[in-house]
């Protein structure tokens, strides 16, 4: 399925409310570690097809970042059935990211 680019706060709410597991990447284009994580997120989406992977540019869609108190990027939140259950920050290899998020 690949990584879904979230373009609005409304779209963000629809994606996490749809149910199941959703990993959301909070990032910005000026953030080097965020850009390093782009291929890792593609790998995550391929390796875990049962998990939706979504990406939110905090400069373009700031409301979800404020709502979930994202003050460091890249930040990753695992949502299950619309609720945040795990959070991790910083660039890391796929295996570490998956382990820290519990997927």
CA nearest neighbour of 10 among 78, 58, 55, 61 = 61
Is 34 considered catalytic here? yes
Which long-range contacts (C-beta less than 8 Å, at least 24 apart) are formed by 68-71?
68/26, 70/26
β-strands 83-89, 21-27: how paired? unpaired
Is 57 considered catalytic here? no
User: One of 34, 54, 65, 75 is an active-site residue; which one?
Assistant: 34
User: One of 31, 45, 53, 97 is an active-site residue; which one?
Assistant: 31
Q: State the catalytic residues.
A: 31, 34
């Amino acid at each position: 399925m690949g990584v879904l680019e979230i373009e609005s706060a409304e779209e963000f709410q629809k994606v996490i409310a749809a149910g199941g597991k959703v990993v959301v990447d909070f990032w910005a284009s000026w953030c080097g570690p965020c850009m390093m994580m782009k291929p890792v997120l593609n790998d995550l989406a391929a390796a875990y097809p049962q998990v939706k992977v979504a990406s939110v540019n905090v400069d373009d869609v700031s409301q979800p970042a404020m709502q979930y108190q994202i003050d460091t990027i890249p930040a990753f939140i695992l949502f299950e059935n619309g609720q945040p259950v795990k959070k991790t920050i910083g660039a890391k290899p796929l295996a570490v990211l998956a382990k820290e998020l519990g997927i």
